[in-house]
């Protein structure tokens, strides 16, 4: 995917997840790079923070405005960041990608960042448990 007009691609430093080096690639507004200078600046992504690297799991972090989803099966299979969906829209999205990854056999870990994210995580867990068996609410850092 190409960066949008006025954006530049940046790459995070490698991070070890289950013995593999993983990086995040993202687009940032070019004006921020010019205004603040890019020398010595480090980039990261919540996608790297929630990649636990277990045998088969889905890690979901809800924030005030976004949801971050990492699918891990003997290696990173998918990482996605998108605008915060409703719990029903999140369920639909997981059902769609579940056809590819057979998510019904995965552990699904849902966490929230901040008070609003935690409330959204609790609500999402209730909806996801209606379809998936192994859904749990986790605290940040577990």
Q: 27-69: per-residue pLDDT in tens?
A: 777 766 655 555 556 665 666 666 565 678 898 988 878 888 8
Q: Is the pLDDT of residue 20 over 90?
A: no
Q: Give me the architecture of the 46-142 domain, per CATH.
A: 2-Layer Sandwich (3.30)
Longest dimension (CA), the chain: 48
Q: Is the pLDDT of residue 105 over 80?
A: yes
pLDDT by residue (tens digit) across 73-104?
877 788 888 888 889 999 999 999 998 888 98
pLDDT of residue 13: 74
> 19-28, 40-49, 120-129: which has the highest mean pLDDT?
120-129
pLDDT of residue 8: 74
pLDDT of residue 142: 56
Dist. CA 20–CA 64, nearest whole Å: 30
The residue with tokens 């995070």 is 12
In 3-state terms, what secondary structure has residue 141?
A: coil
Domain residue extents for the chain: 1-44, 46-142
pLDDT of residue 95: 93
Name residues whose C-beta falls within 8 Å of residue 31's C-beta, 6 or more positions apart in sequence.
6
User: How far is residue 47 CA from its own chain's centroid?
Assistant: 4
Could you write out the DSSP letters of every residue in 34-96? HHH--TT-----HHHHS----SEEEEEEE-SSEEEEEEEESSEEEEEEEE---HHHHHHHHHH
């Amino acid at each position: 995917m190409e960066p949008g007009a006025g954006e530049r691609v940046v790459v995070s430093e490698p991070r070890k997840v289950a013995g593999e080096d993983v990086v995040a690639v993202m687009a940032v507004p070019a004006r921020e790079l010019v205004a603040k200078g890019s020398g010595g600046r480090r980039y990261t992504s919540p996608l790297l923070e929630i990649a636990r690297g277990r045998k088969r799991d889905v890690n979901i972090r809800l924030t005030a405005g976004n949801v971050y989803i990492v699918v891990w099966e003997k290696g990173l299979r998918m990482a996605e960041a998108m605008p915060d969906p409703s719990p029903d829209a999140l369920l639909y999205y997981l059902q769609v990608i579940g056809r590819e990854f057979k998510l019904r056999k995965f552990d699904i870990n849902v966490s929230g960042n901040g008070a609003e994210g935690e409330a959204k995580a609790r609500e999402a867990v209730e909806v996801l448990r209606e379809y998936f068996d192994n859904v749990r609410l986790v605290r940040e850092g577990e």
